[in-house]
Amino acid sequence: MTSFPASLLSLALLLCVLPLSSAWVSPAPSLLRPSSHMASHVASHVFSSSWRVPASVPRTRILQKCVTGPATSLSMSSENSQSKGAEEKIVVGGGCFWCTEAVFLAAPGILRAVSGYAGGKTDKPSYRQVVSGQTGHAECVELTFDPSVISLAQVLDLHMASHDPTQLNRQGVDVGTQYRSIILYSSDQQRTEALEAVARAQEEKGSRKFLGLIPIQSEVVTQVQPLEQFWPAESYHQDYYAKNPYDRYSVVNIAPKLRSNTIRAKIKEIEAQTSAP
């Protein structure tokens, strides 16, 4: 019987194992979000559609409010477009704006959510410039809401619940001043309510206990500052979750956040108030 060369046997085994290992190994969380502009963004961040978002994710309201369009505007859902109440805007930031945008588009009373940049010194910044950390801008979302449906206090409480405001200049694996927790106000009233929301969050965070026994000292580091200018982000950042529900960042980060007890409870609270007579 002719013996099979060992080198050829090893090569054959390697070729069989590689496809399996690539299917098992997921990238580290820090690789799930790109740190450069659109070309590398698309190449490194849009993954196979074999990833599926669980059916329980509340995407209906998000999809109703989102369309693919220019970065400067997003369409309203048919329900919200009929609202004749006064509109109000506020800009908030708390980590990746893809997550922030998705959370607010799942809430009633939010008419529009535009991802962009604010709080820095560079005019018309690009994504590449902002993620470099040199512009001073934070990734933010400009929220337009109907105060007859959702109050500013509820908007701000949802914002504080949607991220960890005790993390300084980061959210999880997203590290840098561009991911800082921030509220940018446009009036004295908004400033007052923003400070009150920070105080509420501090009281909540300060009462946490490890294993229900050991107090956890957590200081809320959310910045509250006047809005000078909001710069809409590039179009491929808008409606990110609605347009890319199956990529790994959406599955690993956004979908679990939307399913979290904290976010669902906040949204149900707003819905209950909206449906109350």
The residues annotated as belonging to the active site are: 96
Name the percent of the chain in helix, strand, coil, to the closest 5.
45, 15, 40
Asked whether 53 and 250 are in contact (CB, 8 A), the reply is yes
**Alpha-carbon dihedral of residues 85, 89, 90, 93, nearest 10 degrees?**
110
Closest CA to 171 of 242, 100, 91, 259: 100
Question: Residue 59 and residue 198: Cα distance in Å, rounded?
Answer: 28
Question: Residue 39 and residue 216: Cα distance in Å, rounded?
Answer: 43
Question: Residue 67 and residue 60: Cα distance in Å, rounded?
Answer: 13
Asked whether 171 and 95 are in contact (CB, 8 A), the reply is yes
Instruction: Classify each residue of 24-41 as buried b or exposed e, where b means 16 or more C-beta atoms within 10 Å of its C-beta.
Output: eeeeeeeebbbeeeeeeb
Asked whether 79 and 71 are in contact (CB, 8 A), the reply is no
CA 274 to chain centre: 24
Closest CA to 71 of 126, 146, 133: 126
Question: Residue 128 and residue 110: Cα distance in Å, rounded?
Answer: 29
